[in-house]
């Protein structure tokens, strides 16, 4: 829900101050998305300048292909919970009755996204990308080997994008400042890394997505 995003914005406010202190504006601001609070908490303080025409930064949100709310979902009204207790919320959704597969990124298995985040995606202010968990864990492994920190599977979705973008910059001989929210370590997810190393991870992706229409 939108109010949850507000509480997380202390992260983005601090990051923005840090960049201002060195007189640098990120070219790309990225994060993973489950419900949206992690990404929005980091990105929204920067988004203010984008909305006012003072920034050319790209905003990129990354989700799993197993739960492709913003990349394959429908922008419509849906319940925020499976019990249908919340008001209907306009968001990108794959349906509140969708049974999320057992991917290791537990924080990214929500069927929809925060309404304000979805609005910004719908209006083109934020791009969204989706990845399979095997390519995500490969990116996480690369990050751990080069940076000395094991990232959480959720964060690794964003790291996959960041690595891809950095490679593009290298190939095109461009220099970009890429800021992303490394929102968690993976020390409690070592079984997932073990499964990846052993080739046991499954790349889930729904064949069809059906969303009920509640408001016409």
pLDDT (tens digit per residue) in 60-115: 999 999 999 999 999 999 999 999 999 999 999 999 999 899 999 989 999 999 99
Give yes or no for a contact between 98 and 64, defined as CB atoms under 8 angstroms apart.
Answer: no
The predicted pLDDT at position 106 comes to: 86
Dist CA 105 CA 206 (whole Å)? 16
Tell me the per-residue pLDDT of 28-56, one tens digit each, with 9 for 90 and over.
999 999 999 999 999 999 999 999 999 99
The predicted pLDDT at position 216 comes to: 52
The percent of residues in the chain predicted with pLDDT above 70, rounded, is 98
CATH architecture of 2-197: 3-Layer(aba) Sandwich (3.40)
Tell me the per-residue pLDDT of 132-159, one tens digit each, with 9 for 90 and over.
999 999 999 999 999 999 999 999 999 9
Dist CA 184 CA 89 (whole Å)? 28
**Residue 212 pLDDT exceeds 80:** no
**Residue 214 pLDDT exceeds 70:** no
Tell me the per-residue pLDDT of 153-175, one tens digit each, with 9 for 90 and over.
999 999 999 999 999 999 999 99
The neighbour count for residue 55, using CB atoms within 10 Å, is 16
Of the CA atoms within 13 Å of residue 79, those in its CB half-sphere come to 10
Greatest pairwise CA separation for the chain in angstroms: 52
The predicted pLDDT at position 182 comes to: 95
Give yes or no for a contact between 211 and 94, defined as CB atoms under 8 angstroms apart.
Answer: yes
Q: In the structure, what pLDDT confidence band is assigned to residue 215 with cuts at 50, 70 and 90? A: low
- The candidate with the shortest Cα–Cα distance to 153, out of 163, 162, 141, is 141
What the block records as the tokens of 4 is 């949850």
Say what the pTM is: 0.94
Number of H helices, E strands in the chain: 8, 6
Domain boundaries, the chain: 2-197
């Amino acid at each position: 829900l939108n109010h949850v995003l507000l509480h997380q914005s202390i992260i983005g406010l601090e990051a923005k101050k840090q960049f201002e202190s060195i007189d640098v504006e990120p070219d790309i601001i990225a994060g993973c998305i489950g419900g949206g609070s992690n990404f929005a908490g980091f990105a929204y303080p920067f988004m203010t300048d984008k909305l006012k025409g003072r920034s050319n930064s790209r905003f990129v949100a990354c989700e799993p292909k197993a739960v492709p709310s913003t990349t394959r979902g429908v922008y419509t009204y849906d319940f925020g919970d499976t019990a249908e207790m919340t008001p209907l919320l306009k968001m990108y959704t794959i349906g509140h009755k969708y049974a999320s597969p057992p991917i290791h990124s537990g924080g990214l298995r929500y069927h929809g996204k925060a309404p304000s985040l979805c609005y910004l995606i719908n209006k083109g202010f934020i791009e969204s990308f989706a990845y399979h968990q095997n390519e995500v864990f490969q990116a996480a492994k690369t990050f751990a080997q080069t940076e000395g920190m094991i990232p959480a599977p959720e964060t690794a979705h964003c790291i996959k994008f960041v690595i891809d973008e950095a490679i593009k910059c290298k190939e095109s001989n461009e220099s970009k400042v890429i800021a992303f929210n490394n929102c968690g370590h993976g020390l409690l997810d070592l079984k997932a890394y073990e499964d990846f190393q052993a080739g046991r991870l499954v790349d889930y992706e729904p064949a069809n997505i059906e969303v009920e229409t509640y408001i016409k």
